[in-house]
Chains A and B, each alone.
Chain A
Amino acid sequence: AQSVAQPEDQVNVAEGNPLTVKCTYSVSGNPYLFWYVQYPNRGLQFLLKYITGDNLVKGSYGFEAEFNKSQTSFHLKKPSALVSDSALYFCAFSGTYKYIFGTGTRLKVLA
Protein backbone atom coordinates (compact mmCIF):
# COMPACT_ATOMS: atom_id res chain seq x y z
CA ALA A 1 0.00 0.00 0.00
CA GLN A 2 1.19 3.50 -0.76
CA SER A 3 1.94 5.61 2.27
CA VAL A 4 3.91 8.42 3.81
CA ALA A 5 5.36 8.30 7.30
CA GLN A 6 6.40 11.03 9.67
CA PRO A 7 8.45 9.25 12.30
CA GLU A 8 8.48 12.08 14.86
CA ASP A 9 5.36 13.27 16.66
CA GLN A 10 7.16 16.37 17.89
CA VAL A 11 10.36 18.22 17.11
CA ASN A 12 11.80 20.86 19.42
CA VAL A 13 14.38 23.31 18.19
CA ALA A 14 15.87 26.52 19.54
CA GLU A 15 15.16 29.74 17.70
CA GLY A 16 17.92 30.48 15.18
CA ASN A 17 18.95 26.84 14.85
CA PRO A 18 18.36 24.81 11.70
CA LEU A 19 15.29 22.58 11.71
CA THR A 20 14.43 19.32 9.99
CA VAL A 21 11.06 17.61 9.90
CA LYS A 22 11.27 14.10 8.50
CA CYS A 23 9.09 12.33 5.96
CA THR A 24 9.56 9.00 4.21
CA TYR A 25 7.38 7.55 1.51
CA SER A 26 6.41 4.23 0.04
CA VAL A 27 4.99 4.93 -3.39
CA SER A 28 5.05 3.00 -6.62
CA GLY A 29 5.82 5.04 -9.70
CA ASN A 30 6.70 8.72 -9.64
CA PRO A 31 5.98 10.27 -6.26
CA TYR A 32 4.33 13.67 -6.16
CA LEU A 33 5.18 14.92 -2.67
CA PHE A 34 3.93 17.91 -0.71
CA TRP A 35 4.43 19.70 2.59
CA TYR A 36 1.65 21.58 4.35
CA VAL A 37 1.56 23.58 7.58
CA GLN A 38 -1.36 23.93 9.96
CA TYR A 39 -1.57 26.71 12.54
CA PRO A 40 -3.99 26.34 15.48
CA ASN A 41 -7.66 26.37 14.49
CA ARG A 42 -6.81 26.88 10.82
CA GLY A 43 -6.91 24.83 7.64
CA LEU A 44 -3.76 23.48 6.05
CA GLN A 45 -1.57 25.80 4.00
CA PHE A 46 0.64 24.66 1.13
CA LEU A 47 4.40 25.07 1.66
CA LEU A 48 6.10 23.31 -1.25
CA LYS A 49 6.00 20.34 -3.58
CA TYR A 50 8.21 17.99 -5.51
CA ILE A 51 6.95 16.86 -8.89
CA THR A 52 10.08 16.31 -10.96
CA GLY A 53 13.46 17.90 -11.62
CA ASP A 54 15.71 19.43 -8.97
CA ASN A 55 15.88 17.39 -5.80
CA LEU A 56 16.03 20.53 -3.65
CA VAL A 57 12.71 22.32 -3.64
CA LYS A 58 12.23 25.80 -2.21
CA GLY A 59 8.93 26.95 -0.80
CA SER A 60 7.16 29.54 1.30
CA TYR A 61 8.51 31.21 4.47
CA GLY A 62 12.11 30.13 3.80
CA PHE A 63 11.37 26.41 3.91
CA GLU A 64 12.95 23.90 1.56
CA ALA A 65 12.80 20.14 1.15
CA GLU A 66 15.15 17.59 -0.30
CA PHE A 67 13.82 14.70 -2.35
CA ASN A 68 16.04 11.64 -1.92
CA LYS A 69 15.01 8.74 -4.12
CA SER A 70 17.51 6.21 -2.73
CA GLN A 71 16.38 6.85 0.85
CA THR A 72 12.72 7.41 -0.16
CA SER A 73 12.68 10.58 1.92
CA PHE A 74 11.40 14.11 1.54
CA HIS A 75 12.58 15.98 4.64
CA LEU A 76 11.51 19.56 5.30
CA LYS A 77 14.26 21.97 6.33
CA LYS A 78 14.87 25.55 7.28
CA PRO A 79 18.29 27.07 7.99
CA SER A 80 17.19 29.26 10.89
CA ALA A 81 14.00 28.55 12.85
CA LEU A 82 11.63 31.25 14.05
CA VAL A 83 9.23 31.04 17.00
CA SER A 84 6.46 31.77 14.49
CA ASP A 85 7.32 28.50 12.68
CA SER A 86 5.76 26.58 15.58
CA ALA A 87 2.89 24.63 14.04
CA LEU A 88 1.79 21.21 12.83
CA TYR A 89 3.46 20.02 9.64
CA PHE A 90 2.08 17.41 7.27
CA CYS A 91 3.80 15.51 4.51
CA ALA A 92 1.56 14.14 1.75
CA PHE A 93 1.76 12.32 -1.52
CA SER A 94 -0.66 12.69 -4.38
CA GLY A 95 -1.84 9.96 -6.72
CA THR A 96 -4.97 9.27 -8.74
CA TYR A 97 -6.60 12.58 -7.72
CA LYS A 98 -6.20 11.85 -4.03
CA TYR A 99 -3.78 12.75 -1.29
CA ILE A 100 -2.43 10.48 1.40
CA PHE A 101 -1.31 12.48 4.43
CA GLY A 102 1.18 11.60 7.10
CA THR A 103 0.11 11.79 10.73
CA GLY A 104 1.78 15.15 11.24
CA THR A 105 4.76 16.46 13.22
CA ARG A 106 4.36 19.20 15.79
CA LEU A 107 7.23 21.67 15.58
CA LYS A 108 8.01 23.75 18.65
CA VAL A 109 10.56 26.52 18.28
CA LEU A 110 11.81 27.68 21.66
CA ALA A 111 12.84 31.28 22.24
Chain B
Amino acid sequence: NAGVTQTPKFRILKIGQSMTLQCAQDMNHNYMYWYRQDPGMGLKLIYYSVGAGITDKGEVPNGYNVSRSTTEDFPLRLELAAPSQTSVYFCASSSSGDTYEQYFGPGTRLTVT
Protein backbone atom coordinates (compact mmCIF):
# COMPACT_ATOMS: atom_id res chain seq x y z
CA ASN B 1 0.00 0.00 0.00
CA ALA B 2 1.33 3.41 -0.97
CA GLY B 3 -1.23 5.06 1.34
CA VAL B 4 -1.87 8.70 0.42
CA THR B 5 0.32 10.16 -2.31
CA GLN B 6 0.63 13.78 -3.36
CA THR B 7 2.26 15.43 -6.35
CA PRO B 8 4.18 17.62 -6.80
CA LYS B 9 6.32 17.89 -3.66
CA PHE B 10 7.29 21.48 -4.37
CA ARG B 11 6.04 24.17 -6.72
CA ILE B 12 6.66 27.85 -7.33
CA LEU B 13 3.86 29.76 -9.04
CA LYS B 14 3.67 33.31 -10.29
CA ILE B 15 0.73 35.45 -9.21
CA GLY B 16 -2.27 34.75 -11.42
CA GLN B 17 -1.15 31.30 -12.57
CA SER B 18 -3.23 28.20 -11.96
CA MET B 19 -2.33 24.66 -10.99
CA THR B 20 -3.74 21.39 -9.77
CA LEU B 21 -2.41 19.55 -6.73
CA GLN B 22 -2.88 15.84 -7.13
CA CYS B 23 -3.89 13.45 -4.34
CA ALA B 24 -4.52 9.74 -4.54
CA GLN B 25 -5.16 7.00 -1.98
CA ASP B 26 -5.17 3.24 -2.40
CA MET B 27 -6.96 2.30 0.84
CA ASN B 28 -10.49 2.46 -0.60
CA HIS B 29 -11.34 5.26 1.81
CA ASN B 30 -14.58 7.14 1.24
CA TYR B 31 -13.55 10.32 3.04
CA MET B 32 -10.87 12.63 1.70
CA TYR B 33 -9.70 16.05 2.83
CA TRP B 34 -7.51 18.96 1.78
CA TYR B 35 -5.77 21.09 4.41
CA ARG B 36 -3.33 23.94 4.35
CA GLN B 37 -0.72 24.50 7.03
CA ASP B 38 0.71 27.96 7.51
CA PRO B 39 3.77 28.56 9.74
CA GLY B 40 2.87 28.57 13.42
CA MET B 41 -0.71 27.65 12.70
CA GLY B 42 -2.64 24.45 12.86
CA LEU B 43 -4.18 22.86 9.83
CA LYS B 44 -7.12 24.55 8.16
CA LEU B 45 -9.63 22.49 6.20
CA ILE B 46 -10.09 23.69 2.62
CA TYR B 47 -12.49 21.11 1.16
CA TYR B 48 -13.59 17.61 1.95
CA SER B 49 -15.42 14.75 0.26
CA VAL B 50 -17.48 11.93 1.74
CA GLY B 51 -17.52 9.90 -1.45
CA ALA B 52 -17.17 10.04 -5.21
CA GLY B 53 -19.22 12.89 -6.61
CA ILE B 54 -19.76 14.56 -3.22
CA THR B 55 -17.68 17.49 -2.03
CA ASP B 56 -18.18 20.29 0.47
CA LYS B 57 -16.42 23.41 1.68
CA GLY B 58 -14.28 23.57 4.78
CA GLU B 59 -13.08 26.61 6.72
CA VAL B 60 -11.01 28.29 3.98
CA PRO B 61 -12.35 27.35 0.51
CA ASN B 62 -11.95 30.69 -1.26
CA GLY B 63 -9.58 30.52 -4.22
CA TYR B 64 -9.77 26.74 -4.49
CA ASN B 65 -11.87 24.12 -6.23
CA VAL B 66 -12.10 20.35 -5.98
CA SER B 67 -13.67 17.43 -7.76
CA ARG B 68 -14.06 13.76 -6.82
CA SER B 69 -14.83 11.62 -9.82
CA THR B 70 -13.34 8.42 -8.34
CA THR B 71 -12.87 7.01 -4.85
CA GLU B 72 -9.09 7.13 -5.27
CA ASP B 73 -8.44 10.68 -6.48
CA PHE B 74 -9.17 14.08 -5.00
CA PRO B 75 -7.40 16.89 -6.91
CA LEU B 76 -7.28 20.46 -5.61
CA ARG B 77 -7.36 23.26 -8.16
CA LEU B 78 -5.91 26.71 -7.51
CA GLU B 79 -7.19 29.39 -9.85
CA LEU B 80 -5.46 32.78 -10.10
CA ALA B 81 -2.79 32.09 -7.51
CA ALA B 82 -2.17 34.76 -4.88
CA PRO B 83 0.70 35.20 -2.37
CA SER B 84 -1.77 34.38 0.43
CA GLN B 85 -1.94 30.84 -0.95
CA THR B 86 1.72 30.24 -0.15
CA SER B 87 1.50 27.31 2.24
CA VAL B 88 2.03 23.60 2.69
CA TYR B 89 -0.93 21.58 1.45
CA PHE B 90 -1.84 18.19 2.89
CA CYS B 91 -4.28 15.67 1.56
CA ALA B 92 -5.76 13.09 3.93
CA SER B 93 -8.20 10.22 3.85
CA SER B 94 -10.18 8.13 6.32
CA SER B 95 -12.35 5.08 6.04
CA SER B 96 -15.41 6.64 7.58
CA GLY B 97 -16.57 9.60 9.59
CA ASP B 98 -15.92 11.18 12.91
CA THR B 99 -14.49 8.31 14.94
CA TYR B 100 -11.84 7.25 12.46
CA GLU B 101 -8.27 8.50 12.19
CA GLN B 102 -7.04 10.25 9.09
CA TYR B 103 -4.07 9.20 6.99
CA PHE B 104 -2.01 12.06 5.61
CA GLY B 105 0.06 12.45 2.48
CA PRO B 106 3.59 13.93 2.60
CA GLY B 107 2.45 17.40 1.55
CA THR B 108 3.04 19.88 -1.27
CA ARG B 109 5.01 23.03 -0.51
CA LEU B 110 3.65 25.85 -2.67
CA THR B 111 5.17 29.30 -3.04
CA VAL B 112 3.37 32.06 -4.94
CA THR B 113 5.55 35.03 -5.89
Binding site for B on A (CB under 8 A): 9, 32, 34, 41-46, 49, 51, 90, 94-99, 101-104
Contact = CB atoms under 8 A, between A and B. Distances in A.
Interface of B: 4, 31, 33, 40-43, 45, 48, 50, 58, 90, 92, 97-99, 101-107
B98 A44 contact: no
B4 A95 contact: no
B5 to A, nearest CB: 11
A94 B99 contact: yes
A65 B92 CA distance: 23
Contacts of B45: 98-99
Contact of B105 (A9, A43, A49, A51): A43
Given A42-B106, A43-B90, A49 B43 contact: no
21 contacts: A32-B98, A42-B106, A42-B107, A43-B4, A43-B104, A43-B106, A44-B43, A44-B102, A46-B101, A46-B102, A46-B103, A95-B98, A97-B50, A98-B45, A99-B43, A99-B45, A99-B102, A101-B42, A101-B43, A104-B41, A104-B42
Given A43-B107, A97-B98, A98-B33, 13 more contacts: A32-B98, A32-B99, A43-B105, A43-B106, A44-B43, A44-B90, A44-B102, A45-B104, A90-B42, A94-B97, A97-B31, A97-B97, A98-B48
Nearest to A97: B97
A87 to B, nearest CB: 14
The 7 closest A-B pairs by CB, nearest first: A43-B104, A101-B42, A46-B101, A94-B98, A103-B42, A101-B43, A44-B104
B56 to A, nearest CB: 8
Which among B33, B42, B99, B104 has the highest number of chain A CB atoms within 10 Å?
Answer: B42
